[in-house]
Amino acid sequence: MAKWRHTQEWGVRLGVIIALLLAGACAHRPVAERQPSPRGALLVPVHWRNLGSFQDDRNFDGLAGAVEGSLAYYGRLPPGSPLRFGDRSLTVGDYAAGLRGLLAILQDGGLSASAKLDRIRGRFDLLQSVGSDGKGGVLFTGYYEPELEGSLTPDARFRYPLYRRPTDLLTIDLSQFPLAMSDRTIVGRLDGDRVVPYFSRSDIDGKGVLDGKGLELLWLDDPVAIFFLQIEGSGIVKLQNGDQVHVQYDGKNGRPYVSLGKLMIERGLLPKGQASMQAIRRYLKDHPAQLRELLDLNPSYTFFRIAKEGPFGNIGVALTPGRSIATDSRLFPKGALCLIRTEKPELASDGRAKAWSPFTRFVCNQDTGGAIAGPGRVDLFWGAGGKAEAAAGLLQQPGSLYFLVPKG
């Protein structure tokens, strides 16, 4: 985080500036009329029989590792901290105890997959997300860990920088300023004695406002690859000296995320329903003159750091391929055990989907994302490599999301 003056005078000045800005924007809504949080209405109880007969499509493979990751996260929290699941509330300690019971079931080699499922049904209640339509409709997308080639120094091929977090990037928690009457967090920078929005994508990549500031972490050979790396939030970069490094998310510029695929459909550049990552890549490759203009339509920008391993989700544990999901962390409890129902692609040799298969799977809520907003969005982590990239890029399917809560 950037270091700036923490004097009482500056704190008062910043608080007044922010409060005045928010008051001007919200002057039509008196304080007494502020809307209550909808959080309690986002999950509704359902019975297991509503799901009919099913099995975990991967026979629970990999789930124990994901559960252990969530338990590590809960182990860092005070056991008495509350976790809210719709209208139900329980402590971190109680929920962790439920996950330890689940882990014992998963690690019992004498139980068949069906017996494990029966025991899970007996130990947990099911709560369904109301989805984006209030009826449980959820859109599933996928993400993965890209594998790219890069260099520690620029040359004729590797000339596109991957930036580390700028020192002048400010993250401001408005809940610390009572006059702001907001629990939001905003991102900006100082311009003299004013706080202003941080630079947009067009400022950074188009105008080069960060050039020459020593913020270049690595150099890559493809601006489109950087664009999608920023959406994914992490990746593996193979260096020219034979080494490879993990690059991890280390902050954003605070600008809103805009879906490039959606805008390309609206402009008639892509057919409706065909805004996959692969389709966007093909269009940009075939129309290089439009590349900068189209990429800049998404003003959101991600900064990175180098890590020894990864990728990590928003709870600080390594993601498990096929078992970790991202949801809106403002709405749903982090680390929680979930059940998802949607469709997965069967890949042809060229990476396209030759068919779609319905599946049901237990997962853990271990990440979030700028594009994952509201109760009707889920992002499934597929892992690394070509197959993961193809499947993640194709996944844009409807489905259902459930959270599991220990009975009683």
Which of 82-86, 218-222, 346-350 is predicted with the least confidence, judged by mean pLDDT? 346-350
What is the predicted pLDDT for the residue at 320? 97
Q: Given a cut of 60, is residue 105 above it in pLDDT?
A: yes
Q: Is residue 256 part of a domain?
A: no
Give tens-digit pLDDT for 20-65: 333 333 333 222 222 333 444 799 999 999 999 999 999 999 999 9
DSSP secondary structure letter of residue 327: -
Average pLDDT score over the chain: 89
Please, which pLDDT band fits residue 11 given cuts at 50, 70 and 90? very low
For residue 357, give its domain range. 40-144+313-406
Please, which pLDDT band fits residue 275 given cuts at 50, 70 and 90? confident
Please, which pLDDT band fits residue 66 given cuts at 50, 70 and 90? very high
Residues 197-212: what's their mean pLDDT?
97
Q: Is residue 121 part of a domain?
A: yes
What is the predicted pLDDT for the residue at 370? 74
Residues 6 or more apart in contact with residue 216 via CB below 8 angstroms: 154, 161, 162, 163, 164
Give tens-digit pLDDT for 240-269: 989 999 999 999 999 999 999 999 999 999
| Burial class, 36, CB count within 10 angstroms (exposed 0-12 / middle 13-18 / buried 19+) | exposed
Q: Is residue 356 part of a domain?
A: yes
What is the predicted pLDDT for the residue at 188? 96
How many whole angstroms separate alpha carbon 245 and alpha carbon 259? 28
How many whole angstroms separate alpha carbon 62 and alpha carbon 58? 8
C-beta separation of 57 from 322 below 8 A: no
- Tokens standing for 86? 């719709």
Q: Is residue 172 part of a domain?
A: no
Q: Which residues are paired to 220 by β-bridges?
A: 150, 160
Residue 270's nearest CA partner among 285, 278, 280 is 280
Distance, C-alpha 336 to centroid of its chain = 15
Give tens-digit pLDDT for 179-194: 878 888 899 999 999 9
Q: Given a cut of 50, is residue 335 above it in pLDDT?
A: yes
Q: Is residue 210 part of a domain?
A: no
Residues 291-309: what's their mean pLDDT?
94
Residue length of the chain? 408
Q: Given a cut of 50, is residue 15 above it in pLDDT?
A: no
Which of 38-42, 87-91, 94-98, 361-365 is predicted with the least confidence, judged by mean pLDDT? 38-42
The CA-based angle 121-123-129, given to 5 degrees, is 65
What is the predicted pLDDT for the residue at 274? 82
Q: Given a cut of 60, is residue 347 above it in pLDDT?
A: yes
Q: Is residue 81 part of a domain?
A: yes
Give tens-digit pLDDT for 128-177: 999 999 999 999 999 999 999 999 999 999 999 999 999 999 999 998 88
Q: Given a cut of 50, is residue 398 above it in pLDDT?
A: yes
> How many domains does the chain divide into?
1
DSSP secondary structure letter of residue 155: -
Ramachandran assignment for 123, one of left (phi > 0), alpha (psi -120 to 50 degrees), beta (any other): alpha
User: Per-residue b/e over 252-284, b at no fewer than 16 CB within 10 Å?
Assistant: bbbbebeebbeebbeeebbeeeebbbbbbbebb
The number of CA neighbours under 13 Å toward the Cβ of 344 is 17
The CA-based angle 14-16-20, given to 5 degrees, is 120
C-beta separation of 405 from 125 below 8 A: yes
Residues 319-331: what's their mean pLDDT?
96
Q: Given a cut of 70, is residue 18 above it in pLDDT?
A: no
What is the torsion angle, in degrees rounded to the nearest 10, for the CA atoms of residue 314, residue 144, residue 211 and residue 201? -80
For the chain, the straight-line distance linking the first and the last C-alpha, in angstroms and rounded, comes to: 42
Q: Is residue 166 part of a domain?
A: no
CATH number, position 378: 2.40.40.10
| % of residues, the chain, pLDDT over 90 | 78
